[in-house]
Amino acid sequence: AQSVTQLGSHVSVSEGALVLLRCNYSSSVPPYLFWYVQYPNQGLQLLLKYTSAATLVKGINGFEAEFKKSETSFHLTKPSAHMSDAAEYFCAVSKPGEYGNKLVFGAGTILRVKS
Amino acid sequence: DTAVSQTPKYLVTQMGNDKSIKCEQNLGHDTMYWYKQDSKKFLKIMFSYNNKELIINETVPNRFSPKSPDKAHLNLHINSLELGDSAVYFCASSHRGGLGPSILTFGAGSRLTVL
């Protein structure tokens, strides 16, 4: 079975500082990996995805993530935090070719950006 | 022109009642989902339908009955509501997927509170 662990339920950074949100996965086969963002009272929005092509994936709003197979990690980074980045971030994994496209989510990390 | 719309956005009801949440997507997707986000923010898949056919049913009590009248709609009916059903329910849709991963588009969520 696939699973996702997000280290740190809350992360706080200063505006302009580096954002690092950690995600480790467990999968029996090379997975698809995703980061979603949820703003208050809104649905989830896809930030970026990894699909076994380039290991460094660029997403929207300046975010990127690097797939590291040896570390089973897919950490999300952004060089300079902006106030508008404050939200909850979810890492998710799915199994390529699995009928039904089931996404397994981590528990989420709330990002707080201080001015 | 909302892509995935859910109604109602908020629902407060008494234990034992029966309630429904409706979902519609205008993206032309052939697969729709219901996810449940509990009080600890864990997101877990409940059901997935492809072209009105149930393809994922994740050990959900049979008090929950999804209904897909056509591939643009997936409604969730819940009988005999219990306190533990209080959660945010997210509808999502996607193409079934070919060589790459399916990208889910989520609705804004329906917050159900059972008293």
Token pair in block for residue A107: 């528990």
- Distance of residue B58 Cα from the nearest chain A Cα, in angstroms: 10
The CA-atom distances, in angstroms, between A108 and each of A10, A54, B15, B64 are: 9, 25, 29, 25
Residue B88: its pLDDT value, please?
Answer: 94
Residue B86 and residue B57: Cα distance in Å, rounded?
19
> If pLDDT is split at 50, 70 and 90, which confidence band does B100 have?
low
Residue B99: its pLDDT value, please?
Answer: 59
Residue A1: its pLDDT value, please?
Answer: 79
**Higher pLDDT residue, B99 or A81?**
A81
Given a cut of 60, whether residue B69 has pLDDT beyond it is yes
Residue A18: its pLDDT value, please?
Answer: 98
Residue B50: its pLDDT value, please?
Answer: 85
- Distance of residue A36 Cα from the nearest chain B Cα, in angstroms: 10
Residue A5 and residue A92: Cα distance in Å, rounded?
9
Given a cut of 80, whether residue A99 has pLDDT beyond it is no
Chain B stretch 39-78, residues whose beta carbon is closer than 8 A to a beta carbon of chain A: 40-45, 48, 50, 55-56, 58
Given a cut of 60, whether residue A60 has pLDDT beyond it is yes
B48 contacts in A (CB within 8 Å)?
100-102
Q: Identify residue A22 by its one-letter amino acid code.
A: R
Residue B115 and residue B109: Cα distance in Å, rounded?
19
